[in-house]
Structure 1
Amino acid sequence: MSLIAIKDLSLIRTETLFAGLDLAIAKGDRLGLVAANGRGKSSLLRIIAGEEEATGGTLTRARGLVTAFAPQDPPARLLSMSLHDAVRDALDAEAAETESWRVDVLLDDLAVDEALRGRPVGELSGGWQSSMLLARAAVIEPDLLLLDEPTNHLDLARIGVLERFLAALPRDCAVVVASHDRAFLDDVSRRTLFLRPAESADFALPYSRALQALEERDAARGRQFENDMRKVRALRQQAAKLKNIGINSGSDLLVVKTRQLSERADRLEESARPAHQERSAGAIRLGNSGSHAKALVAIKDTAIVAPDGRLLFRTGPLWIEQGDRIALLGANGTGKTRFVARLRAALDGGDPEIRGAASLKLGYSDQALAQLDAWATPWEAVKRSSDAGDQLARTLLAGAGIASESQSAPIARFSGGQKARLAMLLLRLAQPNFYLLDEPTNHLDIEGQDRLESELIEHEPACLLVSHDRAFVRGVATRIWVIEGRRLVEVDDPDPVFDRLMAG
């Protein structure tokens, strides 16, 4: 018997997020849930968890089913608790009194530092908050574990811990995970559900293979639709000819035949289904203003130090040329952020060890999208960042997925995905020829990641990017820099580096 049986489920907000959804979740399932931002993934998880109601359809739970849900962000009431107490809070009163040792065992399994366990949740980084939420869900030993973007804010070492933790769960425990991390989905899922407004697609395959199967299915349906519509046009043409002949000859038989052809055309047209077209959440476009300089950035053997003056690593002599797309990899604490900050400051001038070409124009985006704090609304951001007129500014914002009614709304209210798309739009308007990108895919859905990859590859700007997104690095980077043993080294293949970082 299924743990969860879903039949004809629908969810409608201002638009249909999904409808006609049929889904069965069995013991031991590992299901990846994929959709663009704002298309119902989190809502579906909350519906399965019993925290939200669907618009229509039925959801049947197995008797005695224990379900646990780890959301993206901690509830406000947990922020003042210590990490340990926030996890213990998930237990019922009796278990919290007599079995609190389960919390410690679980935090050990998740490699949570002892020093962090007594700190208030609100003071922790997003990555440790994610670990706390996972621990809260797992400590009740559920039959079904629901995870909403569990890799958000995690570096590769923590993603490795997460993957090993999920692999070690009891065989009967089912896991449903909504994620935009393609490599993570490939590693942990055996089924993939592509959530759509109609005809959601469920494949018994991990993400990459499921995506290929979905694209093949959509292409076949597209061809079938074109064939059906050609038949419809042919039937209508035959009906029109017979109608004229029937009128001129007065033949009742031809009139009946004409009606039959028209009815066949109507039925075929009604049943024909066009191939699915994903509704874009907004385009991501970048540019490259170009440069005649071969070396955009030249770096001497530079020491990168911590705020207390401690040496993190030395760079050795380096250069960045036009068209280079460099991924900077390294464990947390090795100095990636310090290097990016040093590079950004140096390119504003005044650093004898790091020099940019006279033609270099920098575009920068940090992982917290803090550069957006300078503006109150998207409208103000575009108007002050460019010479675009009113109508062009509205068109640009709409193209980035920010509807007209939201263009004068406070940026602070926007989702992470909306902020990321706005940040990319502002970068493009600045017309840089060198991009410095710190975790650019953090808030982007898979569609947004694909578009950003395509833009970087197509327009060939130089860029240095810091990312824990393995699929993004594999798809974009032409050079790999790694911080190892207090040195910055260049390697040819990122995969062995990923393996080392994930092994912890």
Structure 2
Amino acid sequence: MSLINIRALGVTLSTPLFANLNLAIAAGDRIGLVAANGRGKSTLLRCITGDVEPTSGEITRARGLTVGHMEQNLAPGLEKLTFREAVLDALSLEQQDSESWRADVTLEELEVPEALRERPLAALSGGWQRIALIARVRVSEPDVLLLDEPTNHLDLEKIARLESWLGTLPRDMPVILSSHDRAFLDAVTNRTLFLRPERSQLFALPYSRARAALDEADAAEERRFEKDMKAAAQLRQQAAKLNNIGINSGSDLLVVKTKQLKARAERIEDAARPAHQENSAGAIRLANRGTHAKVLVTLEDSPVETPDGTLLFRTAQKFICQGDRIVLLGLNGTGKTRFVLRLREAIDGAAREGIKPTPSLVLGYGDQALSDLSDTETPHGTIIHRFDVGDQRARSLLAGAGFSVEMQGRPVGLLSGGQKARLGMLVLRLTNPNFYLLDEPTNHLDIEGQEALERELTAQQASCLFVSHDRAFVRAVANRFWLIEKRRLIEVDGPEDFFEEAALSA
């Protein structure tokens, strides 16, 4: 029995986000909602809650059904509350008075440490703020859960914690979640909806298997379209020949036959539907200027410390060589970001004990906060002020990266996370480095962007060291694996043991 029925639903803003969407949501459904940034995932979730009125179609819900909706950002004023207060605030005033225990049960359920429960959300990391948003939705025990990008800002331990928590929910509770984390989708969903402007596709499969089925369906649709158009072209050729013969011979029968063939061709062309072509959010391309040096960075048992001098780990002797794509693995707090910053400082010319970069090294650096981008600068200003490319070339590059003329003049601070990430990738490309140092490079990138970045790093044979919580990205890109363990940096054969450890420690 369906709890929510979506019939012929469509939403059009400046362009259609989706149309003629039909979806029945039943008990036990765990639906992954997949689309590029800005293509309607959040809008669909808000249609289900009733916060957005669709352009067409209807949504019906079972009588008395309650829906819990986790949005992507903290509501204004929420950051001033403590973790526990924020969860309690999600209950009605009557429940806050008589059932405050619900907040404590939810905090236990999500394994929120006692030390964090009385701290203001503003003082917590983006990951813990995300957990707080999930707790606020869960505390009222809704019948259906809607989660919008729940893994954003979460490290591997918290993602594992979230996966485990979703597995403990009542089996009949439907969950609909939007996410760009492919491994997470594979772990927690049993159905996948690919949201499209026309003909959205639903598969009773988790993401990876659904994606393979989608690609196969699109390929078959493309073959059918090409076959239909070829048949129509042949009919038109036959019609043209008969028409010439009919005119020369004066045969009324051939003229009638010509019209029939043309009509058949038109019917085939009208019925033929081209395969879906995803409108790209903008190309991601990288560069690799190369270098004659085989060893790019030498590490000679370099110490990595906290700002107060506490030792986090030592590197032992290690070499970063041309063609290395090294992922830095380690549990939260082991010093990954400190090491990345220390490496960046050494490459930029600062003396750092035990780190020796080759003189020919040209660094391309990107961090998860996109701190190299100024919120007050525009995308156009960012490019022309940093690189000698000229006005028209800058506009062309930005257009290729998915920035309209209007967006090129908008302050960076007003761009979406995905748009900022693509601007950051364009800056990296124009820097023309021979070594990339990347801290959570897939943050804010949709699946299309993640796959494009994977292709670029491998196709360009780029040398890089990166930190990432995206398991699919790690598996696709890395060819060397460095693990911080017991205050030492060691090399391991692959990431899977660490992924399992992160899940167990969650």
Q: TM-score range by the shorter chain?
A: over 0.9
Specify the alignment match of 1:210 in structure 2.
210
**Using the alignment, how far apart are the partners of 1:125 and 1:497 within structure 2?**
23
Whether 1:385 and 2:417 are equivalent positions in the alignment is no
Counterpart check, 1:313 vs 2:313: yes
Q: Who is 1:324 aligned against?
A: 324
Deviations 1:78-104 (A, max 9, x none): 122222111111112222211111111
Normalising by structure 1, report the TM-score: 0.98
CA drift at 1:252: 2.3
Q: Aligned with 2:287: secondary structure? A: coil
Q: Distance in 2 between matches of 1:121 and 1:157?
A: 19
Query: SS of 2:185's equivalent?
Result: helix
Task: Check the 8 A contact 2:375/2:411 in 1, yes or no.
Answer: no
Q: Matches of 1:104 and 1:463 in 2, distance apart? A: 44
* Aligned mates of 2:218, 2:248 — CA distance in 1: 45
Alignment correspondent of 1:75: 75
Alpha-carbon distance between aligned partners in 2 of 1:266 and 1:433, rounded to the nearest angstrom = 55
2:488 paired residue number = 487
Q: Report what 1:142 is aligned to.
A: 142
Matches within 5 A, 1:62-211: 62-211=62-211
* Residue type at the aligned position of 1:434: F
Aligned CA RMSD, in angstroms, stands at 1.0
| TM-score, normalised with respect to structure 2 | 0.98
Q: Residue 77 of structure 1: CA displacement? A: 3.1
Distance 2:254 2:97 in 1: 86
Superposed displacement of residue 352, structure 1: 4.3
Q: What is the match of residue 440 of structure 2?
A: 439
The reply to whether residue 372 of structure 1 matches residue 373 of structure 2 is yes
Structure 1 pair 23–5 and aligned structure 2 pair: CA distance change class (3 A): same
CA distance 1:421–1:130, change in 2 (3 Å): same
Partner of 1:19: 19
Show the counterpart of 1:221.
221
C-alpha distance in structure 1 between counterparts of 2:65 and 2:447, whole Å: 32
Deviation of 1:375 after TM superposition, in Å, equals 6.2
Aligned to 2:57: 57
Counterpart of 1:403 in structure 2 is: 404
- In structure 1, what is the equivalent of residue 234 of structure 2? 234
Pairwise CA distance, 1:248: 2.3
3-state SS of paired residue (1:19):
strand
Distance in 2 (CA, whole Å) between partners of 1:105 and 1:331 is 27
Q: How many residues align?
A: 504
> Which residue in the other structure is 1:417 paired with?
418
Contact 1:67 1:142 in 2 (8 A): yes
Rounded Cα–Cα distance in structure 1 between residues aligned with 2:248 and 2:363? 75
The answer for the alignment partner of 1:362 in structure 2 is 363
Q: Distance in 2 between matches of 1:115 and 1:271?
A: 63
Greater mean deviation of Cα atoms: 118-127 or 190-199: 118-127
Aligned equivalent of 2:248: 248
Show the counterpart of 1:458.
Answer: 459
**Residues 83 and 119 in structure 1, CA contact (< 8 A), matched pair in contact too:** yes
The residue type paired with residue 123 of structure 1 is A
Q: Which amino acid aligns with 2:209?
A: R
Shift of 1:120: 2.1
Conserved 8 A contact 1:236-1:261: yes
List runs of 5+ in structure 1 lacking aligned partners.
Answer: none
AA partner of residue 100 (structure 2): S
Q: Distance in 2 between matches of 1:351 and 1:493?
A: 29
Q: Which moved more, 1:85-94 or 1:377-386?
A: 85-94
1:427 paired with 2:428, answer yes
Name segments (4+ residues, structure 1) moved above 3 Å. Answer: none
Q: Which residue of 2 aligns with 1:503?
A: 504
Partner amino acid for 1:195? Answer: L
Counterpart amino acid of 1:58?
E
Post-superposition CA distance 1:188-246 (Å, at most 9, x none): 00000000000000000000000000000000111010000000001111111122222
% same residue: 61
SS of 1:372's equivalent in the other structure is coil
**In the TM superposition, what whole-angstrom CA distance separates every residue of 1:127-163 from its partner, at most 9, and x where no partner exists?**
1111011011111111110001100000111011100
- Secondary structure, counterpart of 1:268 in structure 2: helix
1:475 corresponding residue in structure 2 = 476
Confirm or deny: 8 A CA contact 2:49 2:67 kept in the other structure: yes
- The answer (yes or no) to whether the contact 1:375–1:381 under 8 Å persists in 2 is no
Structure 1 stretch displaced more, 377-386 or 192-201 = 377-386
Cα separation, 1, equivalents of 2:210 and 2:336 = 34
Q: Counterparts of 2:50 and 2:287 in 1: how far apart (Å)?
A: 45
SS of the residue aligned with 2:297?
A: strand
Question: In 2, Cα distance between the equivalents of 1:466 and 1:91?
Answer: 38
Distance in structure 1 (CA, Å) of the matches to 2:216 and 2:331: 38
State the shift of 1:384 in Å: 1.7
Identify the range of structure 1 (372-381 vs 139-148) with the bigger mean alpha-carbon deviation. 372-381
